[in-house]
Structure 1
Amino acid sequence: MTHSILHIDASIKPAGSISKDLTRAIVDRLRGAHTDSDLIYRDLGANPVPETDAAWIVAVNTPADQRNAEQSEIAALSDQLIAELKAADTVVIGLPVYNFNLPSQLKTWFDQMARAGETFRYSESGPEGLVKGTRAIIAYSSNGTRLGSDIDFASGYLRHMLGFFGITDVQFVASDHFAIDAEASLNAANEGIANLAA
């Protein structure tokens, strides 16, 4: 059975991105174990998806058969991003930490997919995620913001949004003190990758 991988990078660096190096290593490990895997790749730093705005909220809440051409185009991208996420057995996300939080490009990717009836639904017991059975592996990189520390506002948000969509199998590998000890920071991340179940 084909294993589907969705690979998301969010670094704005054109070269020398640690998070990109780590996501590539994770994807290589997964593809080595699943030789028949399918891969969809999005580089949100180089090719960001549009921010949501008033036109977006109108478009995605207009029935498909009533949308004009512009609304259909706006909704089509959102639909495509959701379809990519739902089709993935594993989603690999690069999480470079900028100013203690995630890149705006990565938040916009989540914003494009946060649609009631598509990735979650409201129930009497509260919101329920609709993306089931997907595993997420997060490559966390930072010069000095330690994963899970009081100043890490990135990983908790990412874990919450994935869980909100229904993805609760979430693992992190981290190079989180690169500016302090580059070698140790990368060694820790690579050890985390080596210990991942493929």
Structure 2
Amino acid sequence: MKILHIDSATTGAASVSREVSAAATAHFKELYPDAEVVYRDLGVEPLAHLTPTTTGAIRLPADAQDDNMKAAFPTERAVLDEFLSSDIVVIGAPMYNFTIPSQLKSWLDRLGVPGVTFSYSEAGPQGLAGGRKVVIVSSQGGEYEQGGVMEHQEQYLKDFFGFIGIDDPIFVRANKTGFGPDIRAASIAAAKEQIAAL
């Protein structure tokens, strides 16, 4: 059993998603005491945005890669392999300017690999990365309906993971955290109660 814990907030100790994602990881570690926990902090150590070299390293077969792509391949592929080797993935995903943080997008860009996590056929796309539980800790200063006006965070994550074969990501929400300390605390408490029931 392997638990992958991803954080992406850049607000340090003030981050709601970090607090709740830590609670979610602790919950699963309690359920599975022998589980290995791997932690990746994209807020502190972000992955670079894709370049022609890293895109080629991720997507092209070895015989089509230039020397720079081949040199980049092990590091780039390690991000994907870390995900694929996990049974449970806990993702701290705050809303930044109505969508996800760019550093989280850079991580997702390493997961969308044709022939590995999805494929195309005449019948359309097929996800190949199912078989793991994905728990997304969503925090928002306001409250936005999934798929509604100005909400490009949770819907995007649902669509992305569905595309690669994970049709049932679990969303743990801490909303309205900007509405004052009492509402923030109540929202965090409610999110932790939701985690306890997983």
* 1:88-132 deviation per Cα after TM superposition (whole angstroms, max 9, x unaligned): 111100011111110001111111221111111112211111112
Partner of 1:76: 74
Cα–Cα, structure 1 residues 125 and 62, in superposed 2: closer, same or farther, change >3 Å? closer
> Equivalences for 1:52-131 in 2 at 5 Å?
52-64=50-62, 67-131=65-129
SS of residue in 2 equivalent to 1:39: strand
Partner of 1:183: 185
TM-score (norm 2): 0.91
Distance 1:61 1:162 in 2: 18
Distance 1:188 1:147 in 2: 18
Cα–Cα, structure 1 residues 71 and 91, in superposed 2: closer, same or farther, change >3 Å? same
Distance 2:74 2:138 in 1: 30
Partner of 1:156: 155
Cα–Cα, structure 1 residues 155 and 178, in superposed 2: closer, same or farther, change >3 Å? same
Equivalent AA in structure 1 for residue 150 of structure 2: I
Distance 2:152 2:39 in 1: 25
Equivalent AA in structure 1 for residue 111 of structure 2: M
Cα–Cα, structure 1 residues 147 and 74, in superposed 2: closer, same or farther, change >3 Å? farther
**Is contact 1:88–1:134 with CA below 8 Å preserved after alignment?**
yes
Structure 2: runs of 5 or more not aligned: none
Of stretches 11-20 and 146-155 in structure 1, the one that deviates more from structure 2 is 146-155
Distance 1:185 1:44 in 2: 24
CA offset at residue 67 of structure 1? Answer: 4.1
RMSD: 1.7
**Is contact 1:4–1:88 with CA below 8 Å preserved after alignment?**
yes
Distance 2:25 2:59 in 1: 35
Distance 2:87 2:59 in 1: 28
CA offset at residue 32 of structure 1? Answer: 0.3
**Is contact 1:91–1:137 with CA below 8 Å preserved after alignment?**
yes
Cα–Cα, structure 1 residues 61 and 171, in superposed 2: closer, same or farther, change >3 Å? closer
How many residue pairs are counted as aligned between the two chains? 194
Structure 1: runs of 5 or more not aligned: none
